[in-house]
Each structure stands twice: as structure tokens, then as C-alpha cells.
């Protein structure tokens, strides 16, 4: 029996273990949330709603079918918070931390699974990276909770401490769950502390763990020789440069769009003072990067703002972070590939570096699979739900990109609609490539270097 178990374990690919691990966490969370103790009413929530909430928490999405603040008891909220933390850091990061605490040696197979979960290119330094991620996460979340407590503790008293911790973890993990009430963070649209703290947590979490390490390493080195921004930027890895430049560009462009499009919309930012308009537009640009909080009512936005939100949600955050979407680097790689075609160059280049062909092919695969998933989910939801096309498309992209923003369609979902969205969030969190590889049965074959005859086709 033991031999069969070991054989099964060996036959499972790292991607399959990763998928199964997340699935187990979601099911355990759903069972806990379906218990009567998890709801304020003392009655069972129902397994479908509990499963949806658990999936949304583990996949750090933030879409909810019941009011998080009013429906769940203190026990239920703690369960949701734990699921968010596990989902944000990743199943293997948490598992590896537990192994290290228990003194268990991290095997090569464990390192391979950590590599897969963190989207790394090498096995080198996986244990050290895991330790740094855990320590860095706890420090950043603690600082965020401290700043949030400056607003929440005076307003809610001792309960404000838990509010601060909950929202700091939710923001850093790009989860979007809140326990304020019905309207997310809309009561704090003009609060400088709340806005900048939550935005900072969202951005830091969405940049990716490897970007942190590279920035800290280069900054520490640069400070010893007198800090110069150009020299500092040149020493960063290409991946870090792409993440920082593309993330900053998307935030700035999104801010300008929302400021001018919603600044004259009386239903959102139109009637607010200039300071609040600036904060609201900036927060909206940041939160679309898969965070899920909102300080304005999404359903009241203009159609063009909703469409821009869909585009920003689809792109999402950066690899190896807590955010979802197809990722900033993916869209950057495709941009530079298109630029190379326009310029008549054979290679895609960025910041005086050549981007490998395998990376470009992977980026194209991610975009095509992601578009296929979104289109498929949208078509299914148009059959099962009664909402308008824009609302359903918005919901599908929000679920796939693990954003958590909604135009009000989530609370109206049918039972089958909830299951469809749960699967969408699950695929989005793990990534389309990971899911595709995990579900593919590969047979070992001897590699033969034979290339098929080439024949040209017409495109464009």
C-alpha cells in the first residue's frame, strides 16, 4: 500500500500537486464556513455559498455572495482571513514554512513545487526566498495594520485593531474582502490615511516577491557607493525593470482616465472636492490591478470607465506576487514583440536586452488561453444569468483576474452561476498555463530532433 502511495506521489507533477493543494484548502475552508458557528445567525450558510466564499478568499478575489461584515461571525471572519493569507502567499509557501518550523528537510520535489508556485526560472535559493517572503509579508502587513489603526481604532474602538489587521492582510494579498459594510471603502473616499495605506499595500503585494528582493539587493549595494537613480535602475534585472515601468505606467494612465471620465460624473466623483476626486481616481486605478476594494460605486461609472476597468483588470498585477490577471510582464513582452515586428527586427528587445523566444511563446499562450477562458465564462453566464452583457463580461474578467470588483451581478448569481464563477476564480488564481499543464497527461517519449517541413501562410 505504501509503495502504491509513493508511486502515485512520484507520478504527480508539481503543477498537479499545486492544483490539488489549493483545492484541498478551498474544500476545508468551505466546510468550516458552512458550519453554524461561522454565521451570525447560527445557521448553516449552505455549502454552495460557503464554497464560493472560500474559493474567493483562497483565490484572493473578493467577490462575495453574502455581506462579509454582517453575515459572518467572528469565527467565520477569522477563517476567511486565514484563507486569504494562505491564498496570497501560496499553498507551497505556507506548507514549506510549516515544514521548516517542524524541522523537516525541504526535499528537491518540494523545491520544484515552490519554484512552480512562485513562477521562478531556477531551483536555486528557493528555501531562502520562501523565508524572505514570509518575513517580508509579516513586516509589511504589520506596518499597514499600524497605519490603518490610526483611523479605525478611534472610529471603532478596540474592534478597530481587528479591522486594521483584516484590511491590511486583505489589501496586501490583493483580496478585496472588507468588513466595513455594504459599500466597501466608499465611506473613506476622502481619507488620506486609508487611501494611501491600502494603495501602498496593494501595489507592494502586486509587484511580486522576486521584485522586492531585486530592488532591496540593488538599493543596498547602491547606497554604499552614493545613490544615483540611473545607475540604480541599470543594475536591476530586466524582469524588475519591466514590472516597475509597466506598473507605474498603467497606474498613471488609469488615474488620468478615471479622473477626467469620472470627475464630471455626479454619481461617482463629480460632486466631490478636488482632493477627493484625485484620491478617488488614483484609488480606482490601483484597485483595478486585482485588489477589489472600491471607494466609488462601480455600477455608477460611465460605460467607457467600465471598459477601461475591464482592460486593467485583465492585465492585473505582476508575476510571483499576490495579484492576478495575465500579468504586466506578459503584456510587456507582447508589446516589445509587436514593436520588433513593426521595426523589422528579428528579436524582441527591451532595455538593451533580448527577450528569449520561449518567453514570447509563453506570453502569447497565456493571453490566448486567458481570452478563451473569459469568452467561455461570459458565454456560459449569459445563458445562466439574467444580467446585461457589460455586467456579465465585467464579472467574468473580475473573477478570472481575481480582482473582486463587481457591478452588482455577484449577489444575483444563480447556484450554477456561483459554481461557474468559483471555477473561474480557481483557474485565474493558479494561472491558465499551470492549469493546462496540470490537466495534461504526458507520456515520456524519447526526444527525437526532427523538424517538420516549413510552409508559409498569410496573416494580417
Over residues 169-189, the pLDDT tens digits come to 999 998 989 998 777 888 999
The number of folded domains in the chain is 1
Residue with cell 508539481: 14
pLDDT value, residue 132: 79
CB-based contact 33:54 (threshold 8 Å):
yes
Q: Give bridge partners of residue 39 from the DSSP assignment.
A: 72
Q: Is residue 220 part of a domain?
A: yes
Q: Is residue 4 part of a domain?
A: no
Beta strands in 15-155 (DSSP E): none
Written as one string, the DSSP assignment of 159-206 is: HHHHHHHHHHHHHHTT-----S-SSTTGGGTT-HHHHHHHHHHHHHHH
Picking from 327, 314, 172, 312, the residue whose alpha carbon sits closest to that of residue 243 is 327
Helix, strand, coil distribution of the chain in percent, nearest 5: 65, 0, 30
Q: Is residue 459 part of a domain?
A: no
Secondary structure of residue 353 in the 3-state scheme: strand
Q: Is residue 455 part of a domain?
A: no
Q: Is residue 42 part of a domain?
A: yes
Q: Is residue 120 part of a domain?
A: no
Residue with cell 489587521: 165
In this prediction, residues 269-281 reach a mean pLDDT of 94
Q: Is residue 72 part of a domain?
A: yes
In this prediction, residues 336-340 reach a mean pLDDT of 94
Above 80 in pLDDT, residue 130? no
Over residues 15-64, the pLDDT tens digits come to 677 778 788 889 999 999 999 999 999 999 999 999 999 999 999 899 99
pLDDT value, residue 214: 87
Q: Is residue 456 part of a domain?
A: no
Largest interatomic CA distance in the chain: 73
Over residues 430-451, the pLDDT tens digits come to 876 666 555 555 544 555 667 7
Instruction: Tell me the three cell numbers of residue 377.
Output: 465564462
Residue with cell 463587481: 406
Range of the domain at 405: 10-112+127-439
Amino acid at each position: 500500500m505504501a509503495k502504491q502511495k509513493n508511486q502515485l506521489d512520484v507520478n504527480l507533477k508539481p503543477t498537479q500537486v499545486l492544483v490539488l493543494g489549493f483545492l484541498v484548502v478551498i474544500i476545508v475552508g468551505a466546510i468550516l464556513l458552512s458550519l453554524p458557528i461561522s454565521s451570525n445567525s447560527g445557521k448553516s450558510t449552505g455549502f454552495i455559498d460557503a464554497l464560493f466564499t472560500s474559493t474567493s478568499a483562497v483565490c484572493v478575489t473578493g467577490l462575495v455572495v453574502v455581506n462579509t461584515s454582517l453575515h459572518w461571525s467572528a469565527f467565520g471572519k477569522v477563517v476567511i482571513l486565514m484563507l486569504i493569507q494562505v491564498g496570497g502567499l501560496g499553498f507551497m509557501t505556507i506548507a514549506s514554512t510549516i515544514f521548516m518550523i517542524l524541522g523537516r528537510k525541504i526535499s528537491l520535489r518540494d523545491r520544484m513545487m515552490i519554484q512552480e508556485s512562485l513562477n521562478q526560472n531556477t531551483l536555486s535559493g528557493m528555501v531562502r526566498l520562501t523565508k524572505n517572503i514570509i518575513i517580508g509579508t509579516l513586516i509589511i502587513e504589520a506596518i499597514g495594520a499600524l497605519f490603518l489603526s490610526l483611523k479605525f481604532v478611534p472610529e471603532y474602538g478596540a474592534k478597530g485593531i481587528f479591522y486594521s489587521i483584516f484590511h491590511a492582510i486583505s489589501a496586501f494579498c490583493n483580496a478585496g474582502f472588507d468588513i466595513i459594510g455594504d459599500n466597501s471603502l466608499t465611506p473613506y473616499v476622502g481619507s488620506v490615511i486609508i487611501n494611501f495605506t491600502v494603495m501602498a499595500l496593494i501595489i507592494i503585494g502586486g509587484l511580486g516577491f522576486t521584485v522586492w528582493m531585486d530592488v532591496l539587493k540593488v538599493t543596498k549595494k547602491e547606497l554604499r557607493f552614493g545613490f544615483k537613480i540611473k545607475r540604480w535602475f541599470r543594475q536591476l534585472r530586466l524582469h524588475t525593470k519591466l514590472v516597475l515601468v509597466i506598473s507605474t505606467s498603467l497606474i498613471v494612465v488609469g488615474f488620468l482616465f478615471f479622473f477626467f471620465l469620472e470627475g464630471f460624473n455626479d454619481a461617482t466623483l463629480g460632486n466631490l472636492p478636488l482632493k477627493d476626486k484625485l484620491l478617488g481616481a488614483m484609488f480606482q486605478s490601483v484597485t483595478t490591478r486585482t485588489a477589489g476594494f472600491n471607494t466609488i460605486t462601480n455600477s455608477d461609472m460611465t460605460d467607457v470607465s467600465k471598459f477601461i476597468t475591464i482592460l486593467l483588470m485583465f492585465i492585473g498585477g505582476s508575476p510571483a506576487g499576490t495579484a492576478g490577471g495575465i500579468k504586466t510582464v506578459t503584456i510587456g513582452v507582447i508589446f516589445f514583440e509587436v514593436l520588433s515586428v513593426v521595426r523589422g527586427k528579428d528579436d524582441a528587445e527591451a532595455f538593451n536586452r533580448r527577450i528569449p523566444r520561449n518567453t514570447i511563446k509563453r506570453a502569447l499562450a497565456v493571453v490566448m488561453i486567458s481570452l478563451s477562458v473569459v469568452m467561455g465564462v461570459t458565454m456560459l453566464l449569459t445563458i445562466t444569468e439574467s444580467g446585461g452583457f457589460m455586467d456579465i463580461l465585467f464579472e467574468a474578467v473580475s473573477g478570472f483576474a481575481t480582482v473582486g470588483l463587481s457591478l452588482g451581478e455577484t449577489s444575483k448569481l444563480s447556484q450554477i452561476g456561483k459554481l461557474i464563477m468559483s471555477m473561474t476564480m480557481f483557474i485565474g488564481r493558479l494561472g491558465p498555463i499551470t492549469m493546462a499543464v496540470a490537466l495534461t497527461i504526458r507520456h515520456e517519449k524519447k526526444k527525437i530532433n526532427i523538424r517538420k517541413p516549413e510552409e508559409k501562410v498569410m496573416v494580417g
